[in-house]
Structure 1
Amino acid sequence: MKIKKWAAPLAVVLGASLALSACSTPTPNETTPSGEETTTSTDNGSGEPKVVTVGWNQAMYSANDDTNHGNAAANAVINYLIKSEFFYYDGDLNVARDESVGTYEVVSEDPLKVQYTFADTAKWADGTPVDAADLLLSWAGVSGVFNDDVTERDEEGNLIIADDQVFFASPTAGGALVQEFPEISDDRKSITFTYTKVFGDWEINLDLGVAAHATAKIAGLGDDAAANKDAVVKAFQDNDRATLAQIANAWRTGFDFVASPSEDQALGNGPFKIVEYVESQYITLERNENYEGNRTPKIDRVVVRYSEDPQAQVQALQNGEIDMLAPQATADTLTQLQALQGVTVETGVDGTYEHIDMVQDNGGPFDPATYGGDAEKAQKVRQAFLLSIPREAIVEQLIKPLNPNATTRDSFVLLPDDPNYSTMVEQNGSADYAKTDIEKAKELLAEVGVDNVDVRFLYGKSNVRRANQFVLIQESAAQAGFNVIDGGDDNWGTMLDTATDQYDANLFGWQSTSTAVTEADSNYRTGASNNFYGYSNKTVDALFDDLQTELDPAKQLEIQIGVEKELFKDAFGITIFQFPAVNAWNSQITGVQPISISPTIFHGFWNWDIAE
């Protein structure tokens, strides 16, 4: 067994679970769920396909991770395999440009203009060229420029969008800074975006998302790829609301699936393509024969097997049923992995943090409307709940066995190993929640005349580590007067945005997909894509406006401290711990290089190979 350790550089965000005992070499000639041989049984000189099978905790459910509900690691890791962007991150979290997709450059600094030019090698898996129509659609999706004002929700918390309304997604911080219609070259080989102001994270602001011609086909506009691209561009140029409503609906919902996606739904432009998907069990990807890019894989097939249970994943690794995994581990998980022969285990700190948020607009215990609009009363109930969360006990019992140096995380936006972390914690107001304080929680509830508070609590039901956390939270909060109701559900990911009427507080993690200083904007700004809870603070919004254009690191920190002071004052939620990272793989697999942010263990898949 080989054991390596690594530490995460700057980043932020998602994950959690338990284990089994075993101590043997992975068994050759085992099969994947589809009946194909695993990597370990492949003879590299035999001409047989090279297959790597990965264990993962949550099934993919959307090929469009730019939507409000599709923004999840479960989707991002598969999209990383089937799509190529203008840039990606190297092993040191530096931005690496992929010029086989195209190039981009600043062509004007005042105003800021960024031009993207597509390479001839950029093609979708069906052979259709990638061009300006595709990036135009992505920009429209994240900018909010074409959205109608849609705010009404049904009883389940879903936005009510009429057939003739246009709504793509809540705008991202960077997307909203491009309001002017872009310049498109006649051959659609280039597209230029003009920003309303300087934006420090411009280089990693826009991605390709889903194919314009596939979106148009799903929308019912036709079957011809070229004609569909023309139709998409024309609809945006003419602001054709009827056609845009069709396109927006297809973009927002048409790429969601739980099994067997159509070719259009799963269409990518990257090294792999989806060929098989069995609901909640596994997804199979094979080489994309139309891929001409720079990241050509050495592996022929990747199979991702799904299970929330890390114990089952460890057993699968031992049996040779999977080749690698990045479980939401417990101490038992790590111990059992380290006992396996022929397995490389890598531990460190993940770019993911566990946290609790509370819904403030669902008529529940944390909503001012419940108290006749008394915002201060609702705020004190939130403060009391946060003071009842046993953060220290969670870290001591569940995280320190994996990372003996683990402590509670006390910042919403900075990692514990960020050089500015200690300064942040000294000033951000987190000291008010540094320790669990049942007596103070009781005093706050008594002060506002509230007792026996019911709190419906959402978390991943099958996630063992989160289930353990829930028990600790439920027992601790009960002492303060909170009846924490078990709302565990394996569909928690989609429920966060679509079912806020069914829960009052949640437990999950945020995982970064970038190193952008403005990344937290989408979590806390009014109406932002990851702010599911009705939280709104004008001071926070204004601070994020300032952060978008601030290039001085010292001033960036001042702004971030200001944001966190407001979040803690408002009792928005609470951070708990930084994830301990555990990655393990069959030592016959070479070229594995996990990183701390998404896509973690899938990073650099084009370097994976099987040792002779």
Structure 2
Amino acid sequence: MRNKATMVVAATAALGLALSGCQQDNKDSAGVDSDKANEEIAGLPSVDYQKADYDEIADGGTLTYPMTEIPASLNYYHADGAHVDNNNIYGTSLGGPVKIKDDGSWEVDKNYAESVEIASEDPLVIDVKLNKDAVWEDGTPIDVEDYKAFWQTRDGKHDEYEVASTKGYEDIESIEAGDDKHNVKVTFKTPNIDWPNYIGASVPNEITEDPDTFNKDYAKKVLPSNGPFKAEKVDNKSGVITMVKNDKWWGQEPKLDKVIFKVVSQAQQAQAYANKEIDLVDIGTDGDSYETAGKREDGEIYKSQGMQWTHVTMNAEKGALKEQEVRDAVGHAINREAIAQAAIGPVEAPVTLVNNVTFMPGQDGYQDNTEGSLDFDPEAAKKILDDAGWKAGDDGIRAKDGEKLKFNIVVPADTASNAQRAEQIMKDLNEIGFKIKIETVPVAAYFADHVLNGNFDMATFTWEGTAFPISSGSNLFYPAESEQNHSKISSDAIGEKFKAATKTLDPAESKKLANEGDAEVLKLKPLIPFYPTPYVWGVKNDIMNLGPRQLETPDWTSIGFKK
């Protein structure tokens, strides 16, 4: 399993997972029955695709998989590389000792490890016996040196490595060889409830032992494979990454000959799928795309529970957004129900709101932690601003001490659904005395030049969670200087609760503490969560074992075309 940080979903395959259809007036929005919707979401399958046994799949063939752009960095483990497009690419070529089952639990992946066991609880020691046949694409054996070097890039002590997250890895005291170099002993200095997420090594030590090699050399080329496919070519000019069979792969032979990842703008993906230029499309919540994809006569629509959730992040280093009262007012001013109804309704899926930023609806541990602070109430929002001294001027814009509530929402070009969501936010905030403008930037610059370097006031995009949200998800909110905390604010209470939740090995207690930390995040309001998006895909109807899945690790050796 690839050790994922929580992933950004924008300027990626799911950039358009946003508001679709016309902007809704507040007075026309229908209420969202979240309890009912949560039950309906739980009723969606955790995976949805045509299932077939290995021997029912034809040998050979090329599958064309869309991506919105070649990511800014192709090093998935670099701070600029935690994108869904990279996740899709490396799903074909990287693996580790643990894989996720369709119910969200984990099991040992025998391709990479013979066994994974808790050798001691105090201190926590994990004993991993590697599959001795496992090698990198050049034939070099995967061993303890790879594990040790990969951990040290993310242990929190080596700032020269530009990584997306150190969460979890910084809790490790040592990684050492046991009986031989294929026996990896991982000792934690503090227990970690999500320890299965931190016992892999997805990059060979030849890369991770040198900061310059790690930071720079794989920005434009694909990391070495330890899976069934490897990169044959990265064509930046035509926007194509070609993956072919890895001749050093020791496991079950993949059925497909090639997987081609092809750049298609989000706005064009559904039409490209309908035109049979690509074999699948992640529809997201775009109603027009849903209708277009549904017209393909040799295609099917599949829906599963999802792990993606939309929001607007506020940069608390920007003017008045530093003030808690201003963020509190934003929480009451935005009509989340209108946004959710417009976004999810067109794809005929359950509509609900995200009231927890750690666990997603349908995931064990989810509960509402908002305590009413995100209820749509413009009058309450106005009163909060009045009491905080933000008074409306002759132009209708609120100001205090010469500073006005004027901000931009940055959105990527050619993503109408994202822009429409921003328009609803703009409309709602302008009605209570803000002056919000939409700043449209090129897709390629959206993250690289704006979100990742703090060059924005507000930004609305999508996060994707993981099967291990307690330790990895908190990285979005703590500490303030975390690479993935784009609001740049946090609190000691958030850190204390999530650290305690991570340290206990009692699952029930861990979820309880994580929810207490989650409540502190929602009290601070570094962002306003909107709605969870089910996974909605169009897939060519002779493709087996590929489709939307909430958490399950896909087996790319058994994905292919029906005989």
SS of structure 2 residue aligned to 1:325: strand
Are residues 1:204 and 2:197 paired? Answer: yes
Following superposition, the deviation at residue 139 of structure 1 comes to: 0.5
**Match for 2:64 among 50, 53, 64?**
53
State how far apart, in whole Å, the 1-side matches of 2:336 and 2:351 are: 12
Q: Which residue of 2 aligns with 1:136?
A: 148
Q: Which residue of 1 aligns with 2:327?
A: 382
Following superposition, the deviation at residue 496 of structure 1 comes to: 6.1
**Match for 1:305 among 257, 262, 265?**
262
Structure 1, gaps ≥5 residues long:
1-10, 21-43, 148-165, 216-231, 233-246, 368-377
Q: Which residue of 1 aligns with 2:435?
A: 483
Following superposition, the deviation at residue 471 of structure 1 comes to: 1.4
Residues 605, 18 of structure 1: alpha-carbon distance in 2 compared, 3 angstrom cutoff: farther
Are residues 1:169 and 2:163 paired? Answer: yes
**Match for 2:477 among 524, 530, 543?**
524
Does the 8 Å CA contact 1:593/1:604 hold for their aligned counterparts?
no
Q: Which residue of 2 aligns with 1:608?
A: 559
Following superposition, the deviation at residue 305 of structure 1 comes to: 1.8
Could you tell me which amino acid in structure 2 is paired with residue 330 of structure 1?
D
State how far apart, in whole Å, the 1-side matches of 2:482 and 2:315 are: 14
State how far apart, in whole Å, the 2-side matches of 1:341 and 1:19 are: 24
Q: Which residue of 2 aligns with 1:534?
A: 488
**Match for 2:241 among 280, 283, 289?**
283
**Match for 1:550 among 474, 499, 504?**
504
Could you tell me which amino acid in structure 2 is paired with residue 609 of structure 1?
G
Residues 49, 414 of structure 1: alpha-carbon distance in 2 compared, 3 angstrom cutoff: closer
Following superposition, the deviation at residue 171 of structure 1 comes to: 4.9
- For these two proteins, the number of residue pairs brought into alignment is 500
Residues 575, 605 of structure 1: alpha-carbon distance in 2 compared, 3 angstrom cutoff: same
Following superposition, the deviation at residue 512 of structure 1 comes to: 2.2
Following superposition, the deviation at residue 584 of structure 1 comes to: 1.4
Following superposition, the deviation at residue 253 of structure 1 comes to: 3.3
Deviation sequence 1:58-83 (CA, Å, 0-9, x none): 43343432232222212111112121
Q: Which residue of 1 aligns with 2:214?
A: 251
Q: Which residue of 2 aligns with 1:345?
A: 301
TM-score, length basis structure 2? 0.81
Does the 8 Å CA contact 1:522/1:531 hold for their aligned counterparts?
yes
Could you tell me which amino acid in structure 1 is paired with residue 244 of structure 2?
E
SS of structure 2 residue aligned to 1:117: strand
Deviation sequence 1:227-252 (CA, Å, 0-9, x none): xxxxx4xxxxxxxxxxxxxx223323
Are residues 1:321 and 2:274 paired? Answer: no
Are residues 1:492 and 2:492 paired? Answer: no
SS of structure 2 residue aligned to 1:143: coil
Could you tell me which amino acid in structure 2 is paired with residue 270 of structure 1?
G
Residues 503, 118 of structure 1: alpha-carbon distance in 2 compared, 3 angstrom cutoff: same
SS of structure 2 residue aligned to 1:290: coil
Residues 253, 444 of structure 1: alpha-carbon distance in 2 compared, 3 angstrom cutoff: farther
Are residues 1:191 and 2:166 paired? Answer: no
State how far apart, in whole Å, the 2-side matches of 1:485 and 1:325 are: 32
Are residues 1:585 and 2:530 paired? Answer: no
Following superposition, the deviation at residue 300 of structure 1 comes to: 0.5
SS of structure 2 residue aligned to 1:400: helix
**Match for 2:228 among 271, 287, 293?**
271
State how far apart, in whole Å, the 2-side matches of 1:214 and 1:135 are: 12
Moved more, 352-361 or 383-392: 383-392
State how far apart, in whole Å, the 1-side matches of 2:451 and 2:69 are: 17
Residues 446, 393 of structure 1: alpha-carbon distance in 2 compared, 3 angstrom cutoff: same
Deviation sequence 1:134-170 (CA, Å, 0-9, x none): 11121112211333xxxxxxxxxxxxxxxxxx34436
Following superposition, the deviation at residue 306 of structure 1 comes to: 2.2
Does the 8 Å CA contact 2:300/2:540 hold for their aligned counterparts?
yes
Matched ranges for 1:348-363 at <5 A: 348-361=304-317, 363=318
Residues 277, 506 of structure 1: alpha-carbon distance in 2 compared, 3 angstrom cutoff: same
Following superposition, the deviation at residue 343 of structure 1 comes to: 0.8
Are residues 1:76 and 2:87 paired? Answer: yes
Going by fraction, where is strand more abundant, 1 or 2? 2
Does the 8 Å CA contact 1:101/1:293 hold for their aligned counterparts?
no
Deviation sequence 1:462-507 (CA, Å, 0-9, x none): 222211111111122111222223233313333566320x102211
Does the 8 Å CA contact 2:19/2:339 hold for their aligned counterparts?
no
Are residues 1:432 and 2:373 paired? Answer: yes
State how far apart, in whole Å, the 1-side matches of 2:275 and 2:180 are: 53
Q: Which residue of 2 aligns with 1:506?
A: 459
Are residues 1:406 and 2:406 paired? Answer: no
Residues 572, 589 of structure 1: alpha-carbon distance in 2 compared, 3 angstrom cutoff: same
Deviation sequence 1:522-580 (CA, Å, 0-9, x none): 11221434223322211111111110123444433431332132122222211100103
Does the 8 Å CA contact 2:191/2:505 hold for their aligned counterparts?
no
State how far apart, in whole Å, the 2-side matches of 1:18 and 1:199 are: 37
State how far apart, in whole Å, the 1-side matches of 2:129 and 2:450 are: 37
Does the 8 Å CA contact 2:98/2:107 hold for their aligned counterparts?
yes
State how far apart, in whole Å, the 2-side matches of 1:134 and 1:320 are: 41
Does the 8 Å CA contact 1:86/1:98 hold for their aligned counterparts?
yes
Q: Which residue of 2 aligns with 1:86?
A: 97
Residues 67, 496 of structure 1: alpha-carbon distance in 2 compared, 3 angstrom cutoff: farther
Does the 8 Å CA contact 2:79/2:165 hold for their aligned counterparts?
no
Does the 8 Å CA contact 2:334/2:425 hold for their aligned counterparts?
yes
Matched ranges for 1:136-155 at <5 A: 136-147=148-159
Residues 521, 17 of structure 1: alpha-carbon distance in 2 compared, 3 angstrom cutoff: closer
Does the 8 Å CA contact 2:71/2:81 hold for their aligned counterparts?
no
Matched ranges for 1:216-227 at <5 A: none
Are residues 1:331 and 2:287 paired? Answer: yes
Following superposition, the deviation at residue 199 of structure 1 comes to: 1.9
Following superposition, the deviation at residue 403 of structure 1 comes to: 3.6
Does the 8 Å CA contact 1:50/1:610 hold for their aligned counterparts?
yes
Residues 403, 580 of structure 1: alpha-carbon distance in 2 compared, 3 angstrom cutoff: farther
Does the 8 Å CA contact 1:284/1:304 hold for their aligned counterparts?
yes
Deviation sequence 1:117-149 (CA, Å, 0-9, x none): 3323211112222222211121112211333xx
SS of structure 1 residue aligned to 2:430: helix
Does the 8 Å CA contact 1:64/1:209 hold for their aligned counterparts?
no
Does the 8 Å CA contact 2:242/2:261 hold for their aligned counterparts?
yes
Residues 195, 306 of structure 1: alpha-carbon distance in 2 compared, 3 angstrom cutoff: same
State how far apart, in whole Å, the 1-side matches of 2:518 and 2:100 are: 28
State how far apart, in whole Å, the 2-side matches of 1:172 and 1:351 are: 21
Could you tell me which amino acid in structure 2 is paired with residue 482 of structure 1?
F
Does the 8 Å CA contact 2:147/2:175 hold for their aligned counterparts?
no
SS of structure 2 residue aligned to 1:604: coil
Could you tell me which amino acid in structure 1 is paired with residue 374 of structure 2?
Y
Residues 266, 419 of structure 1: alpha-carbon distance in 2 compared, 3 angstrom cutoff: closer
Residues 19, 51 of structure 1: alpha-carbon distance in 2 compared, 3 angstrom cutoff: farther
State how far apart, in whole Å, the 2-side matches of 1:568 and 1:385 are: 12
Could you tell me which amino acid in structure 2 is paired with residue 380 of structure 1?
E
Following superposition, the deviation at residue 48 of structure 1 comes to: 9.4
